[in-house]
Structure 1
Amino acid sequence: MSDLDQVLARLGQLHPKVIDLSLDRVKRLLDRLGRPQDRLPPVVHVAGTNGKGSTIAFLRAMLEAAGHRVHVYTSPHLVRFNERVRLAGNLVDDAGLVTLLERCEAANQGDPITIFEIITCAAFLGYSEVPADVLLLETGLGGRLDATNVVDQPAVAVVTRISFDHTQFLGDTLDAIAGEKAGIFKAGRPAVVGPQAADVPLSVFRDRAAVLAAPLAMAGAEWSALPTDIGFRFEGYGRTLDLPMPGLLGAHQIGNAGTAIAALQHLPLTVQDANIVKGLATVEWPGRLQRLTRGPLARLLPNTQLWLDGGHNNSAGEVLGLQARAWTALKGNRDGGALDLVVGMITSKVPADFLRPIAPYVRRLAAISIPGEEATRPASDIAEAARAVGIAEVTEAAGVAEAIASLAARGAAPRTLICGSLYLAGSILADNG
């Protein structure tokens, strides 16, 4: 076990062990560390249910194309824990992360704190000590009481698409969830809201911004990003940009790219149009509609496209459903279906809600339990939900390789998609990325 693994294992025993939304513990530890959150470069604070990571990936790609040094904080990681903390463009190395975590552990003096909170404090400490031009800061869960919500003067607060997720913490209505996400808005500081579904109460964002006198730029009102024959057009802030399609697959990525471009307008940094174009082309965000072309799983399907996505809630299901419909319209599909699915999920997610939008385009589904994941849903739960939403041919398999081999033996569809969990996506990328 490496030094980092040992530290993480020790911190994993901290109390509270479960999610406990609060800012008191974080603020106490940050005070003991000398308030590193007050010594950060301009901060882009990003909340939302879906699209946070993609929006941050676009921002990073555009800013780095312009030569800026970029700190990034995201969660969860897919393969290596270090993915969560990027210092001035580079993933923090094991030794550096161990040092930051141990400094925070010592300063905490054994007081109650969650592992996410102490990791967030360690990240802030690192960001305050390594020079950079901007920090892209992703919330972990919610916004108002998220451990990251201790930055009083962000350059801009951003809310991406919201939907139902973590309802036990954020509320079981879209009004409540929107209110929690809008909790990252700060007095007098700009806020950007990305494209939302028709049932999302936009008034929640406007009301919160009005109370705080926070200048608000909402998709569809103050700015827009809409598809064109050659890509998409961004309009807003007194400018019009005709741009190529984003490098991340899916029609929804136009909205995420537009949200990133809108956020850029509030940074005290120069980003030329050419940097935006380059960023759109070079952006990377693993585990989100990512095609796998190497590794043992790809070799099991030599004549079929193998795709991976970590989406796991109803909004992610809608996105995958739209992509499946686009695939269905392409030549070469057989048996009236665009794809086969391999699905693994965790117990906090609702399989039927996730699968319902994709179901009309699925020919076969193989359900699995996620290997090595204590909170995995049994494959039988997923199989039952798949049948309930209308997927006729459903099987269960002991693992991903077995599921794919089973699908291949019966004649795989033109595309096979592994989906349902970021934990599953991480385990796949560890062996096949």
Structure 2
Amino acid sequence: ANQGQKIPVFEILTAVTFILFSEHPAEAAIIEVGLGGRFDATNVISRPAVSVIMPVSMDHEAYLGDRVELIAAEKAGIMKRGCPVVIGAQESETALEVLIETAERLDCPTLVYGQDFLAFEENGRMVYQDEDGLMDLPLPRLPGRHQFANAAAAIAAVKAAGFEISHRAAEKAMTSTAWPARMQKLTQGRLVELAPKGAEIWLDGGHNPGAGVVIAEALAEQEEKNPRPLILIAGMINTKDQTGYFSAFKGLARHVYTVPVSKSDAGVPNDELALRATEAGLSAEPVNSVADALMLLRDSWDGPAPRILIGGSLYFAGAVLDENGTPPT
């Protein structure tokens, strides 16, 4: 089909995905965009049951544009005329306007977070609300305040796609959902054993300024519940705004160890990444590996057991899970 021309790995994987999905029919197929939306390899579904657009922030600027409204316009490219659209919580009013305008132009039935549906905490529970009423649910198992809005968007999307959700199903989703490398707590494994005794270790593959903010907020919540010094071990690739990512942790992280990303040719050298962290106002030093960072920390640590965030890239997070001996199952 590609007539011998060059083809990116993502497009090959996407083609294989659609072949496999066609051979193994399911009640619902969840297709996640790789980059942007409008020109993405996944964007060939002419009548999606629902299109979902989550928070839009600055990322992939070289391909999607250097303003949030341009990125939002690319994301809006997955909307199809007359098909339902769910718009998750948006930090940017400009992005929200672009998304709503596009949905209106395409006559899409549209549900907007904070307008048509929302979620909030009440008495240690999560309450989901839409035009059908309220659902009183357990708190999301995934840590971080942003998971309330994520859970709400998921419920709204499944309903908009035409499925009925029983209260029991929604409760099970809140309490059983697992998401590797998204605020994943590491409690065992080869790397964990190298950390200072009693350390709390989190792994998150978030890699842009927007992700940095929600990760920092989630860690600040943990800090309120159980104060500990925060240490970052970071690896990033060169297509990301490294200084912007680190800026979210100013005043929260005590120190940063920067390491190479072994699973990507685009990894930022550890000494250069340390400079980016320093530019963001953090104390930073380059080391050769996550294992080295943990051992350095263990040998020099004096004080309450630290809270450690390992992150900055999904490539990096995958390599960490592999090295720790705890890959996703």
User: Is the CA contact 1:371–1:399 (under 8 Å) kept in the aligned structure 2?
Assistant: no
Please tell me whether residue 418 in structure 1 is matched to residue 310 in structure 2.
Answer: yes
Aligned twin of 2:205: 310
Question: What is the aligned residue count?
Answer: 322
State the 1:110 CA deviation: 2.6
- The counterpart of 2:225, out of the listed 299, 316, 330, is 330
Q: Secondary structure at the match of 1:299?
A: helix
Q: What one-letter code is carried by the residue in structure 1 that aligns with 2:209?
A: N
Please give the TM-score of this superposition, normalised by the length of structure 1.
0.72
Whole-angstrom distance in 2 between the partners of 1:320 and 1:115: 29
Distance 2:322 2:288 in 1: 18
- The equivalent residue for 1:123 is 17
4+ long deviations beyond 4 Å:
none
Distance 2:227 2:240 in 1: 33
Residues 289 and 309, structure 1, Cα contact 8 Å, conserved in 2 = yes
Cα deviation 1:177-220 (Å, max 9, x = unaligned)? 11111111111111000001144431111111111111111001
Aligned runs of 1:98-137 on 2, under 5 Å? Answer: 108=2, 110-137=4-31
Partner Cα separation in structure 1 for residue 219 and residue 249 of structure 2: 7
Distance, in Å, in 2 between the alignment partners of 1:192 and 1:332 is 37
Q: Distance in 2 between matches of 1:164 and 1:372?
A: 24
- For 2:121 and 2:278, the matched residues in 1 are separated by 35
Return the structure number with greater relative CO, CA threshold 8 A, min gap 6: 1
- 1:430 Cα shift? 1.1
What is the deviation of 1:109?
5.2
What per-residue deviation string (whole Å, max 9, x for no partner) do you get for residues 99-157 of structure 1? Answer: xxxxxxxxx55344332222212211111121211101100100011111111101100
- Counterpart of 1:341 (choices 218, 232, 237) is 232
Are 2:96 and 1:202 aligned?
Answer: yes
Matched residues in 2 for 1:259 and 1:429: separation? 28
Q: In structure 1, what is the Cα distance between the partners aligned to 2:281 and 2:67? A: 27
Alignment of 1:352-363 (within 5 A): 352-363=243-254
Aligned partner of 1:101 in structure 2 is: none
Match of 1:320 among 208, 215, 218: 215
Counterpart position of 1:406: 296
Q: State the one-letter code of the partner of 1:238.
A: D
Asked if 1:395 corresponds to 2:285, the answer is: yes
The 5 Å alignment of 1:140-159 reads 140-159=34-53
Structure 1 Cα separation of the partners of residues 154 and 226 of structure 2: 33
Matched, 1:219 2:113: yes
| 2:314 counterpart letter in structure 1 | L
Q: Please, which moves more after superposition, 307-316 or 115-124? A: 115-124
1:162 aligns with 2:53: no
Q: Structure 1: which amino acid aligns with 2:215?
A: L
Aligned partners of 2:271, 2:5: CA distance in 1, in Å?
41
2:157 to 260, 263, 287: 263
Partner of 2:186: 292
* Offset, 1:268: 3.3
Once residues 371 and 116 of structure 1 are traced to their aligned partners in structure 2, the CA distance between those partners, rounded to angstroms, is 19
C-alpha contact 1:170 1:177 (8 A) present in aligned 2? yes
Aligned position for 1:25: none
Where structure 1 has 5 or more consecutive residues not aligned to the other structure, the ranges are: 1-28, 30-107
Partner Cα distance (1:224, 1:201) in 2: 18
1:223 corresponds to which letter in structure 2?
A: F
Name the Cα RMSD after superposition: 1.5
| 1:172 matched residue in structure 2 | 66
**Maintained 8 Å contact 1:246/1:254:** yes
Deviation at 1:254, TM superposition (A): 0.8
- How far is the alpha carbon of 1:415 from its aligned partner? 0.8
TM-score, normalising length from structure 2?
A: 0.93
Segments of 5+ residues of structure 2 without an aligned counterpart are none
Residue of structure 1 equivalent to 2:269: 378
Q: Cα deviations across residues 381-417 of structure 1 (Å, max 9, x unaligned)?
A: 221122222223x221111100111112221752111
State the partner residue of 1:3.
none
- Structure 1: how far apart are the matches of 2:108 and 2:93? 24
- Paired AA for residue 110 in structure 2: L
Asked if the contact 2:144–2:221 (Cα under 8 Å) also holds between the matched residues in 1, the reply is no
